[in-house]
């Protein structure tokens, strides 16, 4: 290599390497931003409340998104962000939160106190590999039946739902082939409702105590909805009172491959397609639940929360005060990462163009 070529190479590297470092830094910032975790709506003393896992903490919010409490997960005795949670009432009316931790795995239960608002008296209920069908699965969801002291665990990668007693005894499991990548669970009128993701349906299973049969009683196929494109999968669902006060409507979250680009689809009380929601430009909803008479929706990639009315109207962003600031901080982190990546790529392209130009000029001498 000539002296001139060495100087050109050094200049190109001086421009290219900082650009590469900027791209790497930006990608780390973008990937490291916290995104919405599990959420649930519940009623406390007649008031609607939302529980949201975000940024290493449990946030309790009122129906308008005003913060009521923020508790770091470690204060609840949790070692990691739970993959799912459920909120239930005991037969004597006490509210409890249930969390599924993946690594051990285990289920932790906490009691909700009214003043000051928050969870306390957290304790492990069940732990061990019996909580999973596939020991390596990391997509696990739960529903709790306090009246019959049963836990239902949907193991997506194990393609089954398993029932256990509060003492950890396995009471039953869905038949092979019945479910394919099951996601969210809800108990409704004695039936277990499952988002049967890869079968592209919501299915109602007979789980009468004490040992559930897991027999399919009915199902709703997403393909039956005219606003559901081919291949959409059932990631989540919720039941909302109909706008006219009739029986509850079913809302489903239909996602594309990779659990992306979700669409909110409505069905009436007879499970006939009724329309789709205005998502207000949010392109990646991944989690939904009922909050009062509206849907509360978490936008995963967009890092945010919004509400949708029972008639499908977009009700705007959800979250106020310190909670909204915390969410905005993570969005800002993503945008900063994207900016670093754009600048870095531009620097790398400039380095290559400069190298080509100088090399061409050097050859013409």
Phi, then psi, of 142 in degrees rounded to 5: -135, 155
pLDDT band of 159, cuts 50, 70, 90: very high
3-state helix, strand, coil in the chain (%, to 5): 25, 45, 35
| CA-wise closest residue to 305 among 113, 55, 80 | 55
Q: Are residues 258 and 311 in the same domain?
A: yes
Residue 1 in this model has a pLDDT that exceeds 60: no
**Looking at residues 126-134, what average pLDDT do you find?**
91
Considering the domain architecture, whether residues 272 and 352 belong to the same structural domain is answered as no
Same domain, 255 and 280: yes
Sign of the Cα torsion 227, 228, 229, 230 reads: negative
* 237 and 266 assigned to the same domain: yes
Residue 282 and residue 360 share a domain = no
Residue 4 has pLDDT above 90, yes or no: no
In a domain, 57, yes or no: no
Summarize pLDDT for 193-224 with one digit per residue, the tens. Answer: 999 999 999 999 999 999 999 999 999 999 99
111 located within any domain: no
> Is 314 inside any structural domain?
yes
Do 229 and 315 share a domain, yes or no? yes
Q: How confident is the model at residue 256 (pLDDT cuts 50, 70, 90)?
A: confident
Contact by Cβ (8 Å): 253, 289: no
**Residue 315 CB neighbours (<10 A):** 15
Q: Range with the lowest mean pLDDT among 206-220, 301-315, 316-330, 345-359?
A: 345-359
Q: What is the model's pLDDT at position 188?
A: 92
Query: For position 362, what pLDDT does the model report?
Result: 66
| Residues 287 and 352 occupy one common structural domain | no
Same domain, 283 and 306: yes
Task: Examine residue 357 and state whether it is found in any structural domain, yes or no.
Answer: yes
109 in any annotated domain: no
Q: What range does the domain containing 262 cover?
A: 225-319
Residue 126 lies in a domain: no
* Cβ–Cβ under 8 Å, residues 118 and 69: yes
Mean pLDDT of 74-102: 95
Residue 91's pLDDT band, with cuts at 50, 70 and 90, is: confident
358 in the same domain as 286: no
Instruction: Read off the pLDDT band of 5 (50, 70, 90).
Output: low
Contact yes or no for 101/122 (Cβ under 8 A): no
Residue 365 pLDDT class (50, 70, 90 cuts): low
Q: Number of folded domains in the chain?
A: 2
Q: Measured between alpha carbons, how far is 351 from 348 in angstroms, rounded to an integer?
A: 5
Q: What is the SS3 assignment for 134? A: coil
Does 309 score more than 60 pLDDT?
yes
pLDDT class for 85, splitting at 50, 70, 90? very high
Domain annotation covers residue 273: yes
User: Is residue 343 domain-resident?
Assistant: yes
Closest C-alpha to 130, from 168, 166, 93: 168
236 and 308 housed in the same domain: yes
């Amino acid at each position: 290599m000539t002296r001139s070529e060495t100087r050109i190479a050094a200049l190109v590297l001086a421009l290219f390497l900082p650009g590469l470092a900027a791209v790497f830094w930006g990608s780390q910032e973008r990937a490291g931003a916290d995104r919405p975790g599990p959420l649930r709506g519940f009623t406390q003393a007649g008031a609607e409340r939302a529980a949201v896992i975000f940024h290493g903490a449990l946030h309790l919010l009122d129906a308008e998104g005003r913060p009521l409490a923020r508790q770091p997960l470690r204060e609840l005795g949790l070692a990691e962000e739970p993959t799912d949670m459920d909120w239930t009432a005991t037969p004597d009316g006490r509210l409890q939160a249930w969390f599924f931790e993946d690594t051990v795995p285990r289920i932790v239960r906490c009691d909700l106190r009214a003043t000051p608002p928050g969870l306390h008296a957290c304790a492990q209920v069940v732990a061990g590999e019996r909580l999973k069908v596939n020991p390596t699965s990391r997509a696990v969801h739960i529903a709790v039946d306090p009246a019959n002291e049963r836990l239902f665990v949907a193991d997506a990668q194990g393609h089954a739902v398993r029932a256990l007693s509060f003492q950890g005894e396995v009471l039953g499991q869905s038949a092979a082939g019945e479910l394919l990548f099951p996601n969210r669970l809800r108990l409704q009128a004695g039936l277990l409702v499952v988002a049967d993701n890869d079968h592209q349906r919501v299915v109602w299973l007979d789980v009468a105590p004490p040992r559930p049969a897991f027999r399919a009683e009915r199902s709703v196929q997403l393909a039956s909805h005219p606003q559901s494109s081919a291949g959409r999968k059932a990631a989540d669902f919720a039941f909302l009172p109909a706008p006219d006060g009739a029986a509850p409507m079913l809302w489903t979250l239909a996602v594309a491959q990779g659990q992306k680009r979700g669409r909110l689809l409505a069905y009436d009380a007879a499970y006939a397609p009724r329309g789709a929601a205005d998502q207000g430009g949010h392109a990646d909803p991944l989690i939904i639940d009922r909050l009062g008479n509206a849907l509360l929706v978490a936008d995963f990639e967009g890092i945010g929360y919004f509400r949708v009315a029972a008639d499908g109207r977009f009700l705007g962003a959800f979250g106020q005060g310190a909670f909204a600031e915390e969410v905005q901080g993570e969005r800002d982190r993503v945008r900063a990462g994207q900016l670093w990546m754009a600048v870095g790529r531009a620097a790398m392209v400039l380095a290559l163009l400069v190298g080509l130009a100088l090399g061409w000029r050097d050859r013409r001498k």
